[in-house]
């Protein structure tokens, strides 16, 4: 009787009954806020990669990494060129898979996993990884993990270059990504990572 106001707010008893009985599920559906489903859920929530890698990936998807284009929008003056290629303004889209350094790492990973394609812009890659990650196969699981670990590795190398002036070549960074994925993946999936 204390919850009568709640039932009245969702349209009365007729809105929450199924076959003449009150349904807790219907009541919960009515009182829960209806929010839009996020597209990146599968990349973030079902990913066995290290938590720090998943977090950096989440920030990249939301375009919240502190890249040079973001610094200029915050009125901080800096050289806008990419640290790796020094030819294009640095942004999340450029840093992840448009830059020659990151593209070479990502393309090697795609080749290792058996995907016959060349990496595209970051937004396109997110959508493609989402589509491929829907499959409950070893390839799909490894792709999700490799995506997050690659983004994290590139971000770490970029920051290392910015603060120390040194970074690891693409071949070594590629091997670090594969090692990180191999440490966290299921034993049966590890056989797909042998170079």
Q: pLDDT (tens digit, 9 = 90+) per residue, 48-74? A: 999 999 999 999 999 999 999 999 999
Cβ atoms of residues 64 and 151 within 8 Å: no
Tell me how long the chain is. 195
- State the pTM of this model: 0.84
Rounded Cα distance between 72 and 131, Å, is: 33
pLDDT in tens, 9-20: 777 777 777 888
In the prediction, which pLDDT does 46 show?
Answer: 82
- Return mean pLDDT, the chain: 90
Flag whether pLDDT at 2 surpasses 70: no
By three-state DSSP, how is residue 23 classified? coil
pLDDT digits (tens, 9 = 90+) for 32-45: 777 888 888 989 99
Alpha-carbon gap, residue 90 to 72, rounded angstroms: 11
Residue listed under structure tokens 């303004």: 89
Residue 167 contacts residue 155 (beta carbons within 8 Å): no
Could you give the residue ranges of the DSSP H alpha helices within 46-137? 51-61, 68-73, 92-95, 100-112, 122-133
């Amino acid at each position: 009787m204390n919850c009568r106001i709640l039932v009245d707010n969702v349209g009365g008893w007729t809105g929450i009954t199924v076959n003449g009985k009150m349904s807790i599920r219907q009541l919960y559906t009515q009182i829960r806020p209806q929010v839009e489903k996020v597209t990146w859920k599968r990349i973030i929530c079902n990913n066995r990669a290290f938590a720090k890698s998943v977090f950096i990936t989440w920030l990249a998807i939301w375009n919240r990494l502190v890249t040079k284009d973001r610094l200029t929008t915050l009125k901080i003056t800096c050289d806008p060129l990419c640290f790796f290629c020094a030819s294009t303004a640095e942004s999340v889209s450029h840093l992840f898979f448009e830059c020659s350094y990151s593209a070479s790492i990502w393309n090697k990973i795609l080749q290792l996993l058996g995907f016959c394609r060349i990496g595209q812009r970051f937004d396109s890659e997110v959508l493609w990884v989402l589509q491929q990650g829907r499959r409950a196969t070893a390839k799909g699981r490894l792709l999700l993990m490799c995506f997050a670990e690659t983004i994290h590795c590139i971000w770490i190398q970029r920051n290392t270059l910015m603060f120390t002036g040194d970074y690891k070549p693409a071949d070594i960074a590629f091997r670090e990504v594969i090692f990180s994925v191999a440490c966290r993946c299921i034993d049966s999936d590890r056989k797909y990572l042998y170079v």
